[in-house]
A = this chain, B = another copy of it.
Amino acid sequence: MPSPSAPDFSPEFTSELAELLAWRRDVRHFRKEPIGEDRVAELLAVAQLAPSVGNSQPWRFVRVRSAALRETLAGHADTEKAAAAAAMPDAERRSKYAALKLHGIREAPEVIAVFCDDATTTGFGLGAATMPETRAYSVVLAIHTLWLAARARGLGLGWVSIVEPGFVTDLLDVPASWRFIALLCLGHPLEPDVIPELERRGWQPRLDGSSNVSER
Residue contact A23 to B6, C-beta cutoff 8 Å:
yes
Number of A residues, CB within 8 Å of B: 103
Cβ < 8 Å to B, chain A residues 175-216: 181-182, 192-194, 196, 198-199, 203-207, 209-210, 212-216
A216 touches B66 (CB 8 A): yes
Mask for A40-60, Cβ within 8 A of B = 1, else 0?
A: 010011101111011111011
Q: How many copies does the complex hold?
A: 2
Kindly provide the distance from the CB of A203 to the nearest chain B CB, expressed in whole angstroms: 7
In the complex, the answer to whether A124 meets B203 with C-beta atoms within 8 Å is yes
Q: A17-B149, A130-B161 are in contact. Are A212 and B9 (CB under 8 A)?
A: no
Name A residues whose Cβ lies closer than 8 Å to a Cβ of B.
2-4, 6-9, 13-14, 16-24, 26, 41, 44-46, 48-51, 53-57, 59-66, 69, 80, 83-84, 87, 93, 97, 100, 102, 113, 122-131, 133-134, 136-137, 140-141, 144-145, 147-149, 151-154, 159, 161-165, 172-173, 181-182, 192-194, 196, 198-199, 203-207, 209-210, 212-216
